């Protein structure tokens, strides 16, 4: 099986690469690339994302043909794709970080700043927090409810269809932690920084 981690210069993705390689243990061929042909021929794709929504979207758009290739992979061919942090947020129609920016439009919704209740809650939301699993999820298989995951974000994905949300966390409100629709998966938390439970989520995705 071939798995591609999309490298579009969105910050340091070494921990994503290391954790996937640790779980794959030579059973899966992992490529880290923005080469369109390698992405097209992959069995699975991981879309990481660090930094601002706008910067990540710009990073995708700066590589000629990359957005079209991702659309073909996930939407037309319905192959498994996992978005992590801003990688998940970019599934939305629009994001409001820095400036209004069009997303991939895969899952209808928006990305807006977390309401910190006039400073009552620190932003970014950073560190360990419990997740509330609200529906069966292929990538959360064997993860117990109220498990702790690692977060770093100031913006949240608000999907129009709440039935696609597989887990939430309580911070200033119920914040979406993970999304699942057919072959498209996303986590707001960082599985690659969430110790053994995060590695289990990565393993679940690899074994889909």
Query: Has 72 been annotated as catalytic?
Result: no
Please say if the pLDDT value at position 2 is more than 90.
Answer: yes
Write down the catalytic residue from 97, 156, 180, 192. 192
Query: Has 177 been annotated as catalytic?
Result: no
Q: Compute CA distances 142 → 39, 72, 75, 136, 208, whole Å.
A: 29, 31, 27, 10, 14
- pLDDT tens digits, 31-90: 999 999 999 999 999 999 999 999 999 999 999 999 999 999 999 999 999 999 999 999
- pLDDT tens digits, 76-126: 999 999 999 999 999 999 999 999 999 999 999 999 999 999 999 999 999
pLDDT band of 10, cuts 50, 70, 90: confident
Q: Compute CA distances 202 → 72, 140, 153, 173, whole Å.
A: 23, 9, 20, 27
- pLDDT tens digits, 151-162: 999 999 999 999
DSSP state of 79: -
Q: Is this prediction's pTM over 0.95?
A: yes
Query: Has 148 been annotated as catalytic?
Result: no
Write down the catalytic residue from 85, 125, 177, 180. 85
Phi-psi region of 168 (alpha: psi -120 to 50; beta: other; left: phi over 0): beta
Q: What does the chain come to in residues?
A: 208
- Domains of the chain in start order, with CATH, are 2-206 (3.40.50.880)
Task: Name beta bridge partners: 49.
Answer: none
Please say if the pLDDT value at position 26 is more than 90.
Answer: no
The predicted pLDDT at position 27 comes to: 87
């Amino acid at each position: 099986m071939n798995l591609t981690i999309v490298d579009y210069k969105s910050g340091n993705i070494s921990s994503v690469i290391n954790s996937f390689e640790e779980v794959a243990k030579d059973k899966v061929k992992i490529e880290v690339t923005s080469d369109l042909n390698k992405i097209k021929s992959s069995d699975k794709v991981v879309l990481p994302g660090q930094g601002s929504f706008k910067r990540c979207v710009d990073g995708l758009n700066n590589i000629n043909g990359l957005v079209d290739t991702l659309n073909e992979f996930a939407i037309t061919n319905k192959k498994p794709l996992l978005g992590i942090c801003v990688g998940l947020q970019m599934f939305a129609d629009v994001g409001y970080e820095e400036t209004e920016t069009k997303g991939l439009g895969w899952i209808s919704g928006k990305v807006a700043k977390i309401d910190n209740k006039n400073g009552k809650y620190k932003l970014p939301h950073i560190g360990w927090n419990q997740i509330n699993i609200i529906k069966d999820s292929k990538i959360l298989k064997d993860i117990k409810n109220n498990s702790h995951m690692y977060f770093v974000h100031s913006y949240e994905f608000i999907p129009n269809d709440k039935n696609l949300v597989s887990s939430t966390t309580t911070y200033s409100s119920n914040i979406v932690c993970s999304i699942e629709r057919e072959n498209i998966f996303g986590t707001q938390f960082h599985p690659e920084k969430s110790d053994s439970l995060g590695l289990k989520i990565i393993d679940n995705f690899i074994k889909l």
